[in-house]
Every structure is written in C-alpha cells, then in structure tokens.
Chains A and B, each alone.
Chain A
Amino acid sequence: MSAKVVDALKATFGAAILENHAHCGDDTVVVEASKWLEVATFLKNDPAMKFDMLSDLCAVDYPDRLPRFEVVIHLYSISLGHRIRVKARVGDEEGDGAEIATVTELWPGANWFERETYDMNGIVFQGHPDLRRILLYPEFEGFPLRKDYPAARTQPLVAYRTEAEAGLPLEKLAPFREDEGMAFGRRELPTSEPS
C-alpha cells in the first residue's frame, strides 16, 4: 500500500535506506541514523508524502545486535491515507552512543514520546527541548526496558518497613519461578539500597 513511499524514499536517499520489507501490508524502511531528521523532514513536507500524523515513537533493544537499539516511528498521512514505519539503529554493546536527532520540530507530539523512550531505553534525542524522565523519578538509575536491566531490581523512593517494625513477614512469594518470566534479567538479583 505504501510501496510508492518506499520507492520515493529510495529514489531520494539512495544508500541511506539500508533495507526495507513489508509485513501484512505494512511497509518498513530502515534508514541511516545520521539521516534520521532528513528522512523525517522529507516524509512530513513532501507533497506526495504528507505524513502529518506521528502515531508512535519508541525503541527496541536487541542485545545481540550491533547497533543495539532500533528507534521506530510510525507515521500516518491523514490526507493521503498511507502509513509507513521508519527505523534507525543506534548504540553500541554497552548502550553508549545511543543518540539520534529529535523530530519534535516536525511533530510536536513527539516530545513526550521521545521523553518516554529516553526514560525507558536511554536513547538520547539530540535537540530535544526538555529531555528528562517522564514516567520514572529523577533518582532512578539505569533504563528499565534495556535488556540488561535486572528484572527484579527495584529502586524504592520510600524505605521499606522492616519485618521487625511490622511484626509480621513481609516477603511475598514471587509470582514467577526462576525459570519463568524474563530469564535474561533474572540471572542475578542485586540488592538495591533505597535512595
């Protein structure tokens, strides 16, 4: 359905379009991270593209790949009725250098999406007007949706009551066994100190 969009992108950006595929009629292009803003500007402003709505912006962590993260935007054109998914790959093994240009100038709605993506995955959006945590608290260390964040690590803001204070056992049975749930994060369970 959006094959025209993919063709136009290939014609305009050539080698900067790394790959593309379509799944169930949804077209996806993977672009060079350095061309992120240029591609977005083209998709927003070109009269044949007119992607005037940003449906979603998020990131995915693939710990075994390099670059490690994929930043994903989903675009929809209200006037032309087509949609496209654009991805860019950033970040090294440690998650450093996960930086990409902001698209807040093009779609103001990207502001909070990018803050959330920063909050959860630690992607830094260069040029963002107000890049700070949106859901978690400023004291939080690390980025919880990165696959190397231990699944059982919590960072309480209020120190937990001790069992002596409460006078009864406070430990609950874990809802998942060792072999269930998010195995990648449960290999080690570091004890965290309340901040």
Chain B
Amino acid sequence: MGEVNRSIVLEGNETGFATTKFDSLLNWARKYSLFQYPFITACCGMEFMSLAGPRFDIARFGAEAPRFSPRQSDLLWVVGTISQRQAPALRRIYEQMMEPKWVLAFGTCASCGGFYDNYATVPGIDKIIPTDVYIPGCPPRPEAVIDGLLLLQDKIARGDRTPGIVKPREDVATLGNVNGLVKLEKKSSSKKAER
C-alpha cells in the first residue's frame, strides 16, 4: 500500500484522513482487482490450472476471478502457443477488451514462439498485440508466474506500460553446488560397497 501515501494507525475514538492522488488510488484499486481472461491454447494451461488452484492460489493477489467474456476482463493471459490461424481470434479478443487492459505472455511460446520456428506459429504475441509482461519458462513454474503477476501489479501502480520480463530465480536446491546441479544419490550405495 506504499502508493497511498502512508498508513495511519488510529486509536480509540480518534478519526482522521489520508491524502493521496486520485490516480494512485485508482491504480491501487485496479492492481488488486484484475479480472482475467484466460486464453489457453497449449500445455502451459496445466501450469495455469495449478496456479489458479489452492496450492498457489492467485486469489491472494486479487487476480483469480476469470471472466470468459473479454468485455468484462482487463487482464489477458495468453497461455500457450499461438498459431498463425489463431492470430485473428487473439487480436479480436484483445480489441474487444475495455480500457484499461493488460496483456501477460505466459511461457516461452507466447513470449517469442519458443522452438516453433516454422510456418504455423506466431513468433511471440507481441507481433500482434501489445504485451506488458513476459514470463519465460517451458512451462514456467507457478512461482515465476506469481513473480510476473507482482511485476504487473507494480507496473500498474506506477502507471508504467513498458514491457517487463520476469527474471529467473535461483533454485535453492542448487545453492552451494559448484556445478549448479542437484546430486542424486542412492541410499544403498554403502551396501553395494560391502559386497
């Protein structure tokens, strides 16, 4: 809530007021009430379901309510590969959305086409529609997607429309390992040595 100048703790019967800019208040409200339109075309959809489910629970960020009409939504999730044949549909859905609207490219295919470097696939949805946040990964982990959502919320609060890319996180399992690889060892290795 850093944008609404600061929080004031009131005690007992005290009353008070806070001052802020109207735009900041509006953006603060917008960033916690993103109504999403899930445009799901491929395997990233599985990861999206996980994200929307109770374990990762994007309801915590006020972004869980899907609206299956673009006219009622303000965040377009493009989840998966977009083929050339689908491009007009995606473009039209984007155009049907009301302002203000944001677009989130979920996964490598939506971001840049991924390894589909061929006649059938659009090399990134930004070739067709403006994109606010790119989330790399094939598919991205739900944590990465939450990072992307927080990045978007931050951008909404600042009123910033420059595209952002989610940075990779370091995997805690690999910390402290020189090769950056997790070592898998069998428990029975000592038994083998006895033989």
Residues in A lying within 8 Å of B, measured CB to CB: 135-137, 144, 149, 151-158, 160-161, 166, 168, 170, 172, 174-176, 181
Cβ distance B68 to chain A, nearest Cβ, rounded Å: 22
Contact A166 B126 (CB under 8 A): yes
Contact B126 A161 (CB under 8 A): yes
Cβ distance A122 to chain B, nearest Cβ, rounded Å: 14
With a cutoff of 8 Å between Cβ atoms, the chain B residues found around residue A149 in the complex are 119
Lowest 3 CB-CB distances: which A-B pairs, in order? A160-B127, A144-B119, A158-B87
Contact partner, B84, options A137, A161, A174, Cβ 8 Å = A137
In the complex the two chains form, what is the Cα distance from A154 to B118 in whole Å?
A: 7
Interface size on B, residues (CB 8 A): 23
In the complex the two chains form, what is the Cα distance from A152 to B120 in whole Å?
A: 10
Residues in B lying within 8 Å of A, measured CB to CB: 84-85, 87-88, 91, 112-115, 117-120, 122-124, 126-130, 162-163
With a cutoff of 8 Å between Cβ atoms, the chain B residues found around residue A137 in the complex are 84-85
Contact B117 A161 (CB under 8 A): no
Contact A157 B84 (CB under 8 A): yes
With a cutoff of 8 Å between Cβ atoms, the chain B residues found around residue A168 in the complex are 126, 162-163
The chain A residue with its CB closest to the CB of B116 is A175
- A-B CB contact pairs (8 Å), 5 listed: A137-B85, A155-B119, A166-B126, A170-B126, A175-B114
Cβ distance B69 to chain A, nearest Cβ, rounded Å: 21
The chain A residue with its CB closest to the CB of B118 is A151
Cβ distance B126 to chain A, nearest Cβ, rounded Å: 6
In the complex the two chains form, what is the Cα distance from A156 to B82 in whole Å?
A: 12
Contact A176 B117 (CB under 8 A): yes
With a cutoff of 8 Å between Cβ atoms, the chain B residues found around residue A161 in the complex are 126-130
With a cutoff of 8 Å between Cβ atoms, the chain A residues found around residue B114 in the complex are 175
Contact flag A157-B163 (CB < 8 Å), given A170-B127, A175-B117, A176-B117: no
Contact partner, A174, options B85, B87, B117, Cβ 8 Å = B117
Cβ distance A8 to chain B, nearest Cβ, rounded Å: 41
Contact A158 B128 (CB under 8 A): yes
Cβ distance B94 to chain A, nearest Cβ, rounded Å: 11
Cβ distance B88 to chain A, nearest Cβ, rounded Å: 5
With a cutoff of 8 Å between Cβ atoms, the chain B residues found around residue A176 in the complex are 117
With a cutoff of 8 Å between Cβ atoms, the chain A residues found around residue B112 in the complex are 172
Contact flag A156-B119 (CB < 8 Å), given A161-B127, A166-B126, A170-B127: no
Contact flag A172-B113 (CB < 8 Å), given A157-B87, A158-B87, A158-B91: yes
Contact flag A170-B115 (CB < 8 Å), given A154-B84, A156-B84: no
Contact B117 A152 (CB under 8 A): yes
Contact B123 A172 (CB under 8 A): yes
Cβ distance B84 to chain A, nearest Cβ, rounded Å: 6
With a cutoff of 8 Å between Cβ atoms, the chain B residues found around residue A174 in the complex are 117
In the complex the two chains form, what is the Cα distance from A176 to B117 in whole Å?
A: 8
In the complex the two chains form, what is the Cα distance from A170 to B120 in whole Å?
A: 18
5 new A-B contacts, CB < 8 A, other than A153-B119, A157-B87, A170-B124, are: A136-B85, A137-B85, A160-B128, A166-B130, A175-B114
The chain B residue with its CB closest to the CB of A145 is B119
In the complex the two chains form, what is the Cα distance from A151 to B59 in whole Å?
A: 43
